[in-house]
Every structure is written in structure tokens, then in C-alpha cells.
Amino acid sequence: MSEKTQVEDIDRSLHDTKNENKYRYKSEKGLTPEVIKDISREKDEPQWMTDFRLKSLEIYQQKEIPDWGADLSDLNLDEIIAYIRPDADLQSDWDEVPEEIKNTFDSLGIPEAEKKSLAGVGAQYDSEVVYHNLKEELVEQGVIYMDMENAIKEYEDVVKEHFMQLITPNDHKFSALHGAVWSGGSFVYVPAGVKVDIPLQSYFRFNAPGAGQFEHTLIILEEGAEAHFIEGCSAPQYSINNLHAGAVELFVGENASLRYSTIENWSRNMYNLNTKRALVEEDGVIEWVSGSFGSKVSMLYPMSILKGKGARAEFTGVTFAAEGQYLDTGAQVIHAAPHTTSTVNTRSIAKGGGKAYYRGLLKATENAHHAKATVSCESLMLDNDSVSDTLPIMKLETDDIDIGHEAKVGRISEESIYYLMSRGIDEEEAKAMIVRGFVEPIAKELPLEYAVELNNLISLELEGTIG
């Protein structure tokens, strides 16, 4: 028997609000040494950063666009505007942010979330951070949370030591592009033994059409420190392509613990080609929690490098691909020390011809004896037009390791729906219960602060018939 299930798409009306495209400075389309120098001059950067950008540009020009995942042939990098400075100065008071920009963040609930449940907030609009603030009690404990531009000037030695050391311009074409044109992002430093109990959040809002956003997030946790960082992203829909190629570098010290949560709800004209990596020292912990719901194309595989003995990584992810979306997401874990542990647990949903792929890498070096790793990835297709697959890679250089891998791809079961209906539940609610149950193990790990947005995204309204 054939199966037909209609699922209403995500309501994007909140995220599709556009502002007039006002700016103080906008770079020329394309990438040349002159464009790079202009960006660096506009930011008043130290010479070493200008040199780094120019070297990254050289590498970028030599590298090819990846051809092993999503089709990127429609992305014309020569048409992308790399840098747009909004018509706003950096503020630590929401009332000082220009009204039009403040209203955008108000509608997304960011200022209200800061009042109720966040220890600090950064808000980026196009290429620059327009608001940044941290609670005074954390400042007194030595915690640093600020925009990257000012971090380079105020904490130059620390930033220079860590900047693009985990993610280098040589890694791939889009990391080289990032090195050349990066702008915005957040710098976090948590001293030894300090526990940041309330989350920090940075929100990246894209407004300009035909542009790129290339924020850089750098987080350093010293020995025994703890923190939870939340990253939110959204953009309105345009008829021309936009590009997001940010970078996230996380340094987790001995016995330190960092949770990094992301909700990505980009518009359907966005190519989301982000790179994220964490380096974890002895007995340290990195937890990734990831929700990927938007974009035309995503290629995103956060990497955990377990460098120290007893280091641990957990990755929890949920992906929803609808019509016109190609979401190629997953996780990478490198076990490079003994007694390290990793767990990867993902769910993906595809509907309306959407394509949702899990692509993962699990590597254990010869030093990783007594390591344990578990990977579980499940996919649910809601119609006959959608595509879903799992593409795991394992590279094991030692036999003294405990590995478990489970992958499932399936559809909404007619038998399950009929069973629930026989218990007095109507067909629509039966379908909704199955979808909610499928994502529940992942959804419960996502930040409470995103409860409203999450309900809009994954509490799906189902209708139609089976038969």
C-alpha cells in the first residue's frame, strides 16, 4: 500500500521580517587584496591580522569548491558582498541600539530572554556586533564575554595564540574564505574554577540580500571552568543567494565542561557552510546540541578532538529538511587519547522532497586505547518524495576500543497510526504523536530559552490521509 502524508511547512513569518538595508560601509562584490585591506582598515586592525587575511585570500584562491556533498554550483562567490557595516555602534544598553534594529531583536525575543534567563548577550546584525553585555557578577569573577573586534585589541596576545588554530585556512575553501573576510562574533574566556551557571547567548541576524556573514566565535575555558553558550541564527527570505561561513573554535581545559547549543533557522536562499571544532583536554567535556531547520543548503559537521586522557564528547542533533532544502549535517569525533568517550545521537526529518543526510567521522588514533564511542542516527521520511541517508566513516588505528553504531531510515508506519487510531486517537494527532516521539530524545536537550521557537519548528501540523 502506498503512503501519503501531508505536513505543513514551518511558519517563517517572524524570521522573514525585512528592514531597509541601511549601512555605513559596504565592500565591493568579489574578493581582491584591495577589498581585504579595505575591510581590515575599516576595522582598524593590527597588522598581523591584515597579513593573516591576505594569506588566507591566497589560499582561498588556490582551493576548489568541495564536490562531495551538496551541489554548490549555484553559489557564485564573486557575487557575494563580504562585509556590511550596519548603521549602528556597539552598545551595552538596548535602548541605545537603533530603533529598527532593536525592534528586530525584540521580535525575536532576545532582550526579554536576557532579562529572564541569560548571563550575557551578544547581538550581531549583518557584519558587526551591535549589542554586547555581561552581568556584573561574572565580570567580577574574571569572565570575559565581548565582540571579537574589541577582543583582538584588548586581549591581543590571547586571541593571537588561539585564533584559527583549530580551524585553519588550509582546511577547505570556506575556511580560507572565513580567514580572509571574517567579521563579528564573540570572544569568551572563563578563568580556572569559575562556573557560569546561567547561559551566555549570541544571536546572529542577517538582513542584507546577496551578502555573506562570517562571524568568528572563540571560547576558552581554563581548568575546572564550566559554561553554556547558546548560538541563534536567522535571516529573511530573498530571491538571491546569501552565504554563511562562520567559524567556531572551542578550547576546553582540564576538568572543564562546555555545552554549545545552536538553533539555525536560516532562510531558504542561504548556503550555510559553517565550521566548528572543539579541543578537549584531560577529563574535559564538550557537549554539542544542534538544531538545523533552515537554509537552502547546509554542510555542517562539528568536530570534537579528544586530546586528553578521559576527555568526553556528546553530540545531540535534530534536522528538518523540507521542499528545496539539502541539509547535509553530522558530527566528527577524533579520539586521540586513552579512556576517551564519545556519544553521537541524531534525528532527521525530511518532507516535501527535502534531502536530509547524516555524515559522520569517527576516528581513533593508536593512542586511543580503552576509548568508547557510540553513534546512533535515525531518519524519518514523511512522504515518498523525500530523501534521507546516513554516511558514516570510521577510521580505527587501534583494536583496543569499544565502538557501537546504529543507523535507521524509515517512514511513518501505517501500522503505528492505525494502532493509535484504534485507541481512540484521531489520525492527525496520531501522526503528530509519532513525530513528537521521534524527536523527543533530542528536543529535550535543546535550550529552554528556545521553547517557543522550538514548538513552532518541530511541533508540526499534520494533515492529509494515508492510502
- Residue 230 φ/ψ, nearest 5 degrees: -115, 130
User: With pLDDT > 90 as the criterion, what percentage of the chain qualifies?
Assistant: 46
- β-pairing verdict for 144-147 and 216-221: unpaired
| pLDDT higher than threshold 90 for residue 463 | no
Residue 110 pLDDT = 62
Cα pseudo-dihedral 412, 418, 419, 423, rounded to 10: 130
Query: 297 or 109, which is more confident?
Result: 297
Can you give the pLDDT at residue 211?
77
- Residue scoring higher pLDDT (37 or 21): 37
pLDDT tens-place string over residues 58-78 = 999 999 999 888 899 999 888
Lowest mean pLDDT among 47-61, 304-318, 377-391, 448-462: 448-462
Question: Which has more pLDDT, 351 or 313?
Answer: 313
Residues 99-158 pLDDT 10s: 766 676 666 566 676 666 566 676 767 666 667 777 788 889 999 999 899 999 999 999
Phi, psi dihedrals of residue 27, rounded to the nearest 5°: -75, 160
- Looking at 15-24, 145-154, 249-258, 372-381, which range is the least confident one? 15-24
Q: What is the mean pLDDT of residues 376-400?
A: 89
Return d(Cα 50, Cα 52) in angstroms, integer.
5
Q: In the prediction, which pLDDT does 114 show?
A: 60
Q: Which of 201-215, 291-305, 338-352 shows the lowest per-residue confidence on average (mean pLDDT)?
A: 201-215
Residue 59: per-residue pLDDT: 97
Q: How many CB atoms lie within 10 A of CB 153?
A: 12
The overall longest dimension of the chain from CA atoms, in Å, is: 71
**Residue extents of the structural domains in the chain:** 13-300, 412-467
**Torsional sign, CA 56, 58, 61, 62:** negative
By the 8 A CB rule, do 274 and 246 touch?
yes
Confidence band of 202 (pLDDT split at 50, 70, 90): confident
Q: Assign 3-class secondary structure to 313-360.
A: EEEEEEEEECCCCEEEECCEEEECCCCCEEEEEEEEEECCCCEEEEEE
> What pLDDT does 80 receive?
84
Number of separate helices (H) and strands (E) present in the chain: 11, 28
Stated as kind and residue range, the H or E segment containing 121 is strand 120-125
What pLDDT is attached to residue 3? 38
| Residue 189 pLDDT | 97
Quickly list DSSP for 154-203.
Answer: HSHHHHHHHTTSSS-TTS-HHHHHHHHH----EEEEE-TT-B--SPEEEE
What was the pLDDT predicted at 65? 92
CA distance 282 to 196: 20
Side chain identity, residue 231: E
Rounded to the nearest integer, the mean pLDDT of the chain is 83
